[in-house]
Chains A and B, each alone.
Chain A
Amino acid sequence: MFSYYVNLALRSLRRNVVLTALMIAAIGVGIGASMTTLTVFRAMSGDPIPQKSHQLFAVQIGNWDPQNRRDYGREPDGLQPQLTYMDSMALMKSHAAARQTAMYVGGFALTPSNPELRPFQIQSRAAYTDFFPMFQVPFRYGAPWAAADDENHADVVVLSAELNDKVFGGANSVGKTLNLDGHDYRVVGVMEHWSPTPKFYDLNNNQFGKAEELYLPFTRAIDAQMPSWGNYNCSGDIGEPGWEGRLRSECVWFQYWAELPSAESAARYRSFLMNYASDLQRAGRFRWLPRTSLRDVREWMDYQQVVTNSARILVLVSFSFLFVCLLNAMGLMLAKIMGRAADIGVRRALGANRYAIFSQCLIEAGVIGLAGGLLGLVLTALGLWGLRVLLSEEVGRLTHMSVTDISIAVALSLTAALLAGLYPTWRAGQVQPAWQLKAQ
């Protein structure tokens, strides 16, 4: 009977094209508006590394005076999201986690060997080799540099796929050299396209921006005095002048992540951090109670307010709009179905029970929902395209529909149409055939 009901639904929809178009438009516009905001919201709030998000932890150490509140930004607990060089190095040397990396974002002037290409600036990330397995970075050619390269401050780099395409035409560039600020670096690996959204490992610097195009050992970047292109925050005392002064200062500009595969290892690391901060207090560097924090990826995103309250309100408003559209669709559906009360009466007289009438009308609502969903997808694509055109590239990265988003849109539309169709369908099932036939 399902195919029969679908056939009847299509006939019914063709019978009154204007009413059908209005119902589909009501659902489609509602779906389009809600899915546009939901797609962006999901991109903002989604888990960027679901397989490991509960094993990766951002580290914070309270190295600033908690009484000096003016120094603090949006973080509610007064802890800074970044670390000093001193703390970063101390934690790296401890090897207290299964994997760990200190890192920062900076940049170089890259001079391509191809004379046809002009030198250009390239955003780079200084990190330890653990960065790659920790964050599951895929490789097209080669591999990450070795741990020994970190210790030896080796002149090695890993390129993004985009940079490799640009400089080496997409060929395997492993073993080739790249000139950065006048110094040659050997390419050891080329990544596949990789750019998690949001850029959870450095939410303090362009959280929805692209991943960096070039990676080099942290130790080598410090030697090369690669300048920071990210946030560089100091509390009062900015330290001695010069690069060495910066490294010895209480200024924070390094992100620090630890991989802790189990709850026990995370608990041990927390104790380790507190002990580390307590030691610094005893040594006189901190004149306040030791404060540290360890947050996994989801906690870190919440803490850094990746999804703002205004974004949540926008989603709420768009779904309220969908609700209004559904009410309209329900009214139209009710008018359409009750306009066929006579036909329903005849069907009842010919042997249809209430369930059969209910099924027929509900399938008609489902067909409308599917059509509305398709229109909604088109409108969502248009809405996202509009956002890309009107807003920044950063926002544009949030406007790509995934298969999941498309599935959500279709499921939402079907559910919405079925919900909107429930009352009219129930009313159809209540049609008294005797009254309909007597009325004629």
Chain B
Amino acid sequence: MLKMTHLSKAYRTEVVETYALRDFSILVKEGEFVAVTGPSGSGKTTFLTIAGLLEEFTGGEYQLDGANVRGLNDNQRSRLRNEKIGFIFQAFNLIADLNVQDNIDVPLRYRGFNGAERRRRIQDALSRVGLSARARHYPAELSGGQQQRVAIARALAGSPRLLLADEPTGNLDTQMARGVLDLLEELHRDGATIVMVTHDPELALRAQREVHIVDGQVVDLAAQPRMVAAAHAGA
């Protein structure tokens, strides 16, 4: 599903060149739930933005769902992002002007679905996250947990091949975080491929597999897959 090989990302100024990712390789198979961990500044978010086609990389190769993304133009990247990737952000990133259903409608509009199809997908997604009754509420009227579930519904509505989550519980209290994680696990059980960036080791234990990044490089690629049950037992 997601394959990066010897990928690098450098930020250049006139005097200095800084590598956020260096010789970075990762393989995420279809249906996997992978946690990407690492200290602040290790390159986790850079990995996520490159994986999400929000940023270009400097060197190496990146294949998303079998397609090589190097050299794609803005239109092609946007279409690929819209069709194959669902984003879940730490800060939810709902659009304040739009109510819940209109927020979920955003990626569907860019996809070009007709009105009936969009309505069906919005209802399905809301029902999946248990917020059907909140369709006409605005983000400011919802709790943090509810907002994150709306963001998940928005990510799911387009039936993406890959869910990218950036610290999805970082802005939530423990109880709400648990609810969101339960939802992610449920999605995974239903077959979704999830890559979750987190700096929280306990959260990482809920994933099938953990990839640890330090200074822009994967340092624990050989980590053993862990069962969710084990994670629960550890917690």
Interface residues on A, range: 20 to 34
Q: Say whether B111 contacts A351, CB under 8 Å.
A: yes
Residues A346 and B95 in contact in the complex (CB < 8 Å), given A351-B78, A353-B75, A440-B89: yes
List the B side residues contacting A349 at CB < 8 Å.
Answer: 52, 54, 81, 87, 93
A12 to B98, CA, bound (A): 10
Q: Say whether A437 contacts B78, CB under 8 Å.
A: no
Question: Is B129 at the interface (CB under 8 A from chain A)?
Answer: no
Question: Is B74 at the interface (CB under 8 A from chain A)?
Answer: yes
Question: Is A354 at the interface (CB under 8 A from chain B)?
Answer: yes
Instruction: Write the nearest CB–CB distance from A425 to chain B, whole angstroms.
Output: 16
Question: Is B123 at the interface (CB under 8 A from chain A)?
Answer: no
Question: Is B79 at the interface (CB under 8 A from chain A)?
Answer: yes
Instruction: Write the nearest CB–CB distance from B93 to chain A, whole angstroms.
Output: 5
List the A side residues contacting B132 at CB < 8 Å.
Answer: none
Question: Is B106 at the interface (CB under 8 A from chain A)?
Answer: yes
A350 to B49, CA, bound (A): 12
Instruction: Write the nearest CB–CB distance from B192 to chain A, whole angstroms.
Output: 17
A354 to B81, CA, bound (A): 13
Cross-chain contact of A350 among B55, B74, B97, B106 (Cβ < 8 A): B106
Instruction: List the A residue with the shortest CB-CB distance to B73.
Output: A353
Interface residues of B in 29-87 (CB under 8 A from A): 45, 49, 52, 54-55, 74-75, 78-79, 81-83, 87
Q: Say whether B97 contacts A11, CB under 8 Å.
A: yes
Q: Interface readout for A341-368 with B: 1 if CB under 8 Å, 0 if not? A: 0110111111111111000000000000
Q: Say whether A346 contacts B110, CB under 8 Å.
A: no
Interface residues of A in 2-37 (CB under 8 A from B): 4, 8, 11-12, 15
Highest count of chain B CB atoms <10 Å: which of A343, A346, A349? A349
Q: Interface readout for A315-354 with B: 1 if CB under 8 Å, 0 if not? A: 0000000000000000000000000001101111111111
Residues A350 and B45 in contact in the complex (CB < 8 Å), given A434-B54, A440-B91: no
A351 to B54, CA, bound (A): 10
Question: Is A70 at the interface (CB under 8 A from chain B)?
Answer: no
DSSP class of A's interface residues: helix, strand, loop or mixed?
Answer: helix
Question: Is A112 at the interface (CB under 8 A from chain B)?
Answer: no
List the A side residues contacting B89 at CB < 8 Å.
Answer: 437, 440
Q: Say whether A346 contacts B93, CB under 8 Å.
A: yes
A356 to B81, CA, bound (A): 14
Instruction: List the B residue with the shortest CB-CB distance to A349.
Output: B87
Q: Say whether A351 contacts B75, CB under 8 Å.
A: no
Q: Say whether B75 contacts A437, CB under 8 Å.
A: no
List the B side residues contacting A345 at CB < 8 Å.
Answer: 93
Q: Interface readout for A403-440 with B: 1 if CB under 8 Å, 0 if not? A: 00000000000000000000000000000111001101
Instruction: Write the nearest CB–CB distance from B75 to chain A, whole angstroms.
Output: 5
List the A side residues contacting B95 at CB < 8 Å.
Answer: 343, 346-347
List the B side residues contacting A343 at CB < 8 Å.
Answer: 95-97
Question: Is B109 at the interface (CB under 8 A from chain A)?
Answer: yes
Q: Say whether A440 contacts B74, CB under 8 Å.
A: no
Q: Taking A346-B93, A437-B49 as given, write out 15 further A-B residue pairs in contact, using a Cβ cutoff of 8 Å, ordered by the A residue number.
A: A11-B98, A15-B97, A343-B97, A347-B106, A349-B54, A349-B93, A351-B78, A351-B83, A351-B110, A353-B79, A356-B110, A434-B54, A434-B55, A437-B166, A440-B93
Interface residues of A (CB under 8 A from B): 1, 4, 8, 11-12, 15, 342-343, 345-356, 432-434, 437-438, 440
**Could you write out 26 A-B pairs with CB less than 8 Å apart?**
A1-B109, A4-B109, A11-B97, A342-B93, A345-B93, A346-B95, A346-B106, A347-B106, A349-B93, A350-B81, A350-B87, A350-B154, A351-B78, A351-B110, A351-B111, A351-B158, A352-B78, A352-B110, A353-B74, A353-B75, A354-B78, A433-B54, A434-B55, A437-B45, A437-B166, A438-B49
